[in-house]
Amino acid sequence: MNPLTVLKIGGNVIDNPAALTRFLTTFSTLTGDKLLVHGGGKIATQIAEKLGVQTTMVDGRRITDKPMLDVVTMVYGGLVNKQIVGQLQTLGTNAIGLTGADAGVVKANKRPVKDIDYGFVGDITEVDSGRLLSFANESLVPVMAPLTVDASSGTLLNTNADTLAQAIAVDLVHKRDVTLVYCFEKKGVLANPDDDNSVINQLTPEVYAEHKAAGSINKGMIPKLDNAFAALNAGVARVIICHADELAAALAGTAGTSIVMNNE
C-alpha cells in the first residue's frame, strides 16, 4: 500500500509564529501523501478574554459551553486553520482547510455528562477516510481543524486534536501504510520532564507503565500516549512523538520517540 503520513501539530508551536513557520516549511518538503491536524494553542483563550467569554479548564481540558463553542469555531476553524493553509500555499503545498463538518469527513457524538459536563465536546464516531483520500488523489493536502460534527443535529463539537489525528490514522490503515506523528515543543517523551535531553528513544507499554507509575510521564502526555498505543494496536505502522523542529530527523529515525509494542 502507498504510504501516508498523518501529522498533528500543537502545543506552544501554534502560538509561536516563527516556530510554526519552521514546522510548515519542513512539512511542505515531505514527499508522499500527507495530512495535517492542528490544535488551537492558547489563541482561543486569548480571543475569548477579549470577547468577555470565560475560559474554564479541568485537568487541562477545555469546558466548551455555547459561547466558548462559538469562539473555538472561529479560532480553530477560521483564524488558525486559514493561517496555516495560507502559509502552506506560499510554500508550494496545495492545502485545503477542513473541519469535520466539511464533506462530513469526521462525525461525533456530544460527550455524555458523567463526573464532568464538558459541554459541546465531541467523541468521534465516524471518519470518512475515502473522502479524505479523494483530496489526496487531487494532489490536495487536508489541514484539519479540531472540530467535528454531530450527524443528527449538525452541531459542531470541540474535539481533542490528538484524538482526531489518531482516529483519522486508524481509519486509513486498511487503505494506506500510515505513519502517525505528534509534533510539539518537546524533543519527545522525556524520562525527566525537567530535562529536555532525557528523550526516551523507544517507548514500549512496559516502559510507559513504569514512568507513569513514577510520575515522570503525567498530565497531558498520558492521553497523547494512550492515543499512540491505541493507534499501533489498530494497525498504524509507525507512531512518533517529536519536536516540531526535528520532524525530518524523527521520520528518519534519528530524533524523537518511537512508540513501539516491544523492543525493536
What is the rounded CA–CA span in Å between residue 69 and residue 63? 9
Q: Is 77 annotated as a binding residue?
A: no
Helix axes 17-29, 81-90, angle to 10 degrees: 50
pLDDT given for residue 237 in this prediction: 96
In order of start, what are the domains of the chain with their CATH numbers?
A: 3-259 (3.40.1160.10)
- Beta strand pairing status for 33-38 and 3-9? parallel
Q: Which three cell numbers stand for residue 4?
A: 501516508
Q: How confident is the model at residue 264 (pLDDT cuts 50, 70, 90)?
A: low
> What number is the average pLDDT over the span 152-157?
94
Give the least confident one: 63-67, 125-129, 148-152, 218-222: 218-222
Please check the confidence at residue 263 and state whether its pLDDT lies above 80: no
Please check the confidence at residue 57 and state whether its pLDDT lies above 70: yes
Give the least confident one: 4-13, 37-46, 81-90, 173-182: 37-46
pLDDT one-digit tens code per residue, 189-228:
999 998 999 999 999 999 999 999 999 998 888 989 999 9
Share of the chain above pLDDT 90, in %: 87
Q: Is 158 annotated as a binding residue?
A: yes
Query: What is the pTM (predicted TM-score) of this model?
Result: 0.95
Mean pLDDT of the chain: 94
Residues found in the chain: 264
Residue 120: other Cβ atoms inside 10 A? 22
pLDDT given for residue 59 in this prediction: 72
Burial degree of 28 (CB within 10 A; 0-12, 13-18, 19+): middle
Helix axes 221-233, 205-214, angle to 10 degrees: 160
pLDDT one-digit tens code per residue, 87-113:
999 999 999 999 999 999 999 999 999
- State which amino acid sits at residue 3: P
> What number is the average pLDDT over the span 169-198?
95
- Beta strand pairing status for 257-259 and 156-158? unpaired
Please check the confidence at residue 118 and state whether its pLDDT lies above 60: yes
